[in-house]
Each structure stands twice: as structure tokens, then as C-alpha cells.
Amino acid sequence: MLEKDDIKLLKLELERLEWELSLLSEVSNAMRSTLKLDQIFYIILTALTSHEGLGFNRAMLFLVNEKETVLEGIMGIGPHSAEEAGKIWNAISSSKKTLENFIESYDIFKRDSESRLNSIVKGIKIPLREDMGILALTILEGMPFEITNQEAKKLVDQNTQKALNTDFFVTVPLRAKDKILGAILVDNIFNKKPITKTDVRMLTMFANHAGLAIENSRLYEETVYLSNTDWLTKLWNYGRFQQSLSFEIEKTKREDGRLSLVMVDVDNFKNYNDTLGHMKGDEAIKTIAATLSSKSRKIDTVARYGGEEFAIIMPGTSKENARLFAERLRSEVEKIYADEKDIQPNKRLTISCGVASYPEDATSKEDLVMRSDIALYEAKMAGKNRSCIYSTGMEEKRTAV
């Protein structure tokens, strides 16, 4: 027969189990509410640090970069100093935020330039070797590690420990089926609350849910990416170009700014394709696409418009600066194919460019595309291998023809 103390302990254990299942259910529902990776990361770490979640002082997420065979810091939530911890906890206790409220506040977190821990975590790269400390071993061994005493602390990579300013912590692997995607690190560096075996068990269960959510989100983002990408060049396709141009024009309109569109066409491509074959033609399209992409800025959108035609959206760029950029592209392509004597009729493969700007030349997406295309047509009619900027005279001349 069970004693009163045994019944009390059993009751507490059942209450704890009920709370764990409730938390896992709540977090799983939250993770199912989005398929965006960055929001999934935030939900995971919020659940680990909020007072309605597991309540660790800090939580950090790392993912495996298989190409470079390293573990990369992705996101960190929590304070980096005791002073910062006090401010955060006072704000939490005064606002009475729930786990759901924390998830809704993701956009605020994303804009927070003062999140020092997050910046530090995102700067960490750890080679996946046995001599690179606990985080690397968490991936290589596929098991949790509890750094809860000085002896265990000897296994910690000193550079990582110094960067994160942590002494005692726990790491658990993020699993998706039979694959280890990364690791979670948690600590209680400020309140010094011991991390128990129960905490580690709960953290491991949580990490398994999180790993599946990350993998599902990755598969979704990969599907979206492929549906918006040209299969040959890996540039954005026509559909994504149309979406991006609409977005950038609306943004430019709100900010009272300017935007330029460069249309690019490969000169005499049909002759090139017919003379040297489709494989050489595909190779040329890929080479030119790579050149356009490498010479463009990160904020520019480079797309394959169709066939041998490309489009480049250039936010915040005047028509003259876009023309200078187009000329650099034209010159670069000309140099690449300068020695190909088999190419006819001009013994080289070149491009022509047409440039128009919003709102100088057009006040709608359709008009901007049309007028940059008119400028491109002018470049072709003027002898090819050149760049032209739109003017009203071009449209009048084309209408007259």
C-alpha cells in the first residue's frame, strides 16, 4: 500500500508530466502556425526561455552546415550580462507576457539591434571535429552533454566558452528522423538554478519536436525556392520577377524614392545556338546569368525574363547609374567571348541593354517594363552590343514605324 508521501510524490510527478505534455502541445501548435524558418527558430528559443516555457536564462540554436562541415550559430535569446538580465526580467514580470505573446513579438526581436547575445551567437562557427568541444561532440556523438561541474568543463572549447560567457550549461542534438540537424545550448548563468535530469529529459523531448519542425520548414522553403527559380540559370524566374517588381515599386512609392529596370538580351543568340548546338547555347546562358548575378548588388533582383532575355531590378538607382552598370555588364560579357572565333556573324557573343526608371519614365509596373524594353529595342536597332536609356522620342519613333 502506498504511503502518504509516496502518493504526494506521485501526484507531483503526474502534475509535472501533465505540464510537460501541455507545453509540448502548445509549442508544437505554435511551430505549426508558420513554415518560415526564422520564425520557427524564434518559437523554439522563446519556449525555452519564457516563464511559461522551460524558463532557462538563455537559449542558443546552432545548425550544421554540411558544405563546410561546421556548426553555425543561428540565433540566441536571452541576456548577455547580469545587468541586461535584470532589465529583461523586470520587463517580463511587469508585462505578464504569455508564450503566445512572445511568439507574436518576433518582429520586434528581429528589429532589435541591441540583442548582443544573438549577434555573438550568429558569429560562431565551429568545425565538426572531436577536438572542437562540446557543441561539436553533441553533433558527432548525437547525444546530450551536461556541463555541470569543473571536471566536465574541461571538455568545453575555450573560445566558444569565452564568446558566450558561460560556465555551466546543457546541449542537446536537434534530430529529424535519423539525421542530426544541429544543437541547442541552454544555461542558467544568472539565477544559477541547477539544470536537473528532468530538465534535460524535457529538453531532449522538446529538441526532437523542434528538429522535425525545422526539417519541415526547410523542405517547404526549398519547394518555394524551386518554384520561383529558373531551372537552368538558378536565377529568379519570370513569375518571381513580376512579384519582386510589384513589391519594389510599391516600396519605392512609399519612400518617395527611385528605381531602375535593366532589360538584357543576348545578341545573335539564335545563330550561336544553331551553329554550335543547344548544349553550348545553354552553357552561354548560364555563363551570362552568372556574370549578371555576380556583378549585381545584394539588393538587386536578377531574373531570367525568358529565353535569352534577362531583367535586373535596381532599387534606389538613378537611370544614369543604371546605364553605367549596364555598360559594365556589357563590357564584361564582351571580354568573356572575345576569343570565340567560331561565333558569327560578329565573331563574338555580346549583350544589349535597355534602361528605364520609376517614376521618371513610368508610374506603373507595366509601363516600366514596356519602356525598358523599348530602350532595349533601340539598342538592338542601333547595332547591338550597347546600352540605351529610355526617352520619349524612342516611343514616338517606334509608334511611327
CATH, residue 246: 3.30.70.270
Of the residues 174, 190, 222, the one at which a domain ends? 222
Strand partners, 147: 169
In a domain, 230, yes or no: no
- pLDDT score of 159: 81
- pLDDT score of 174: 92
181-224 residue pLDDT tens:
999 999 988 888 888 888 888 888 888 888 888 888 888 888 88
Q: In 25-69, which ranges are E strands?
A: 58-65
Residues 215 and 248 in one domain: no
Letter string b/e over residues 326-354, b meaning 16 or more CB atoms within 10 A of that residue's CB: beebbeebeebbeeeeebeeeebbbbbbb
Residues 209 and 251 in one domain: no
Residues 136 and 266 in one domain: no
Residue 8: Cβ-neighbour burial (10 angstroms; 0-12, 13-18, 19+): exposed
- pLDDT score of 89: 44
* Residue-range definition of the domain harbouring residue 367: 238-400
Residues 143 and 254 in one domain: no
Residues 350 and 272 in one domain: yes
Residues 119 and 192 in one domain: yes
In a domain, 228, yes or no: no
- pLDDT score of 381: 93
- pLDDT score of 289: 96
Amino acid symbol at 268: N
Among 111, 101, 94, which Cα is nearest to 47's?
A: 101
- pLDDT score of 302: 97
Report how far residue 55's alpha carbon sits from residue 52's, in angstroms, rounded to the nearest whole number.
7
- pLDDT score of 83: 52
Cell numbers placing 106: 518576433
Report how far residue 3's alpha carbon sits from residue 383's, in angstroms, rounded to the nearest whole number.
98
Residues 19 and 131 in one domain: yes
Residues 210 and 265 in one domain: no
- pLDDT score of 57: 87
- pLDDT score of 93: 45
Amino acid symbol at 393: G
Residues 275 and 169 in one domain: no
Among 28, 63, 62, 65, which Cα is nearest to 43's?
A: 28
Distances from the Cα of 44 to the Cα of 61, 206, 263, angstroms:
9, 9, 43
Report how far residue 74's alpha carbon sits from residue 41's, in angstroms, rounded to the nearest whole number.
8
**Contact in structure between 355 and 389 (CB atoms under 8 Å):** yes
In a domain, 344, yes or no: yes
- pLDDT score of 85: 47
Residues 195 and 52 in one domain: yes
Distances from the Cα of 79 to the Cα of 130, 222, 316, angstroms:
29, 33, 37
Active site residues per annotation: 308
Say what the pTM is.
0.65
DSSP assignment of 192-226, as one string?
-----HHHHHHHHHHHHHHHHHHHHHHHHHHHHHH
**Contact in structure between 284 and 310 (CB atoms under 8 Å):** no
Of the residues 190, 222, 254, the one at which a domain ends? 222
Name the CA radius of gyration of the chain, rounded. 28
Residues 6 or more apart whose Cβ sits within 8 Å of residue 151: none
Report how far residue 397's alpha carbon sits from residue 379's, in angstroms, rounded to the nearest whole number.
13
Residues 159 and 126 in one domain: yes
Cell numbers placing 28: 508544437
User: How many domains, in total, are found in the chain?
Assistant: 2
In a domain, 215, yes or no: yes
**Under-70 pLDDT residues of the chain:** 1-35, 50-54, 79-114, 340-347, 395-401
Of the residues 222, 246, 278, the one at which a domain ends? 222
- pLDDT score of 276: 85
Peptide bond into 79 cis (omega under 30): no
CATH, residue 84: 3.30.450.40
Residues 19 and 163 in one domain: yes
